[in-house]
Amino acid sequence: MRAGVNPARIDLGSSLHKLRSGGFSGYLHFRGQQGPGYILFVKGALVEVLWEEDRAVLRGFEAVQKIFASASAGSLELDIYALEVDLATLLCSLFHGDLGSSPRRAAEIDPEQYVAELKREGLSGFLRLYAPQGCTLIRYSKGVPTGFVLDGETTIARRPGSANSVARMDGALIDFVWTPELEEAQEEDLAEALDLSKLWVRARARNCSQDAA
């Protein structure tokens, strides 16, 4: 993991190409006053790009443009997480998911009743527990929990670990993201249709011209 990188000081387009050629599995997390943004790799394939803005989610080319524009302006910090292939593939499924309902405060729900409802409806996806201090994902397949994604871990855990502690954090929220089954999640390499180096050069040029003006 690398944390707190200033992407404005690196050649981000070239760096992404190096991750591809190196067979990287993991994700880049762009954070700041805008966003957040995510770029996900599985075995060197750039499988998803997301940018969240005003409760809207942009994907693909539009997301790349937003990330590059904000990153080249120096308004984002970058964290890079290397993951085992199984976890990166799991996150690919999450990134293709749809939020089932608005987040709810974890302190205001009955966890046993919530889990029983997931089982009764036979849902597949991720239960998300998150707070400013941490996050836990619980993978569900047809209403049955099959694995846990815990902060700082590089592979899928089979035990809940810090899930309960996250739920007790101040301001913790809970929601559920419906996802396709893993075999249905697309893993196409989006970089084959995007000239990342050219897009990064253009984004930096636009910011330079705005600064000069």
Q: What is the pTM of this model?
A: 0.79
pLDDT digits (tens, 9 = 90+) for 30-68: 988 887 899 999 999 999 999 988 768 899 999 999 999
- Say yes or no: 14 and 79 in one domain: yes
Q: How far is CA 142 from the centre of its chain?
A: 23
- Say yes or no: 36 and 69 in one domain: yes
The whole-angstrom separation of Cα 185 and Cα 191 is: 17
As to burial, measured by CB atoms within 10 angstroms (0-12 exposed, 13-18 middle, 19+ buried), residue 188 is exposed
Grade residue 10 by pLDDT with cuts at 50, 70 and 90: very high
- Say yes or no: 71 and 107 in one domain: no
- Is 92 inside any structural domain? no
- Say yes or no: 2 and 74 in one domain: yes
- Say yes or no: 164 and 129 in one domain: yes
- Say yes or no: 4 and 80 in one domain: yes
- Is 120 inside any structural domain? yes
- Say yes or no: 172 and 196 in one domain: no
- Say yes or no: 174 and 195 in one domain: no
Judged by DSSP in three states, 188 sits in coil
The pLDDT value given to residue 69: 94
Number of domains comprising the chain: 2
DSSP annotation string for 82-132: E--HHHHHHHHHHHT-EE-S--EEGGGS-HHHHHHHHHHHT--EEEEEEET
pLDDT of 163 strictly over 80:
no
- Say yes or no: 64 and 47 in one domain: yes
Q: Is the peptide bond before 36 cis (omega within 30 degrees of 0)?
A: yes
- Say yes or no: 108 and 75 in one domain: no
Grade residue 186 by pLDDT with cuts at 50, 70 and 90: low
- Is 12 inside any structural domain? yes
Higher pLDDT pick, 52 / 10: 10
Its domain, for residue 157, covers 97-179
Contact 178, 124 (CB under 8 A): yes
pLDDT digits (tens, 9 = 90+) for 73-131: 999 999 999 999 988 988 888 888 887 777 889 889 898 898 899 999 998 999 988 87
- Is 64 inside any structural domain? yes
- Is 56 inside any structural domain? yes
- Say yes or no: 108 and 69 in one domain: no
Q: Which of 26, 140, 39 is nearest to 88 (CA)?
A: 26
- Is 161 inside any structural domain? yes
- Say yes or no: 54 and 120 in one domain: no
Grade residue 211 by pLDDT with cuts at 50, 70 and 90: low
- Is 90 inside any structural domain? no
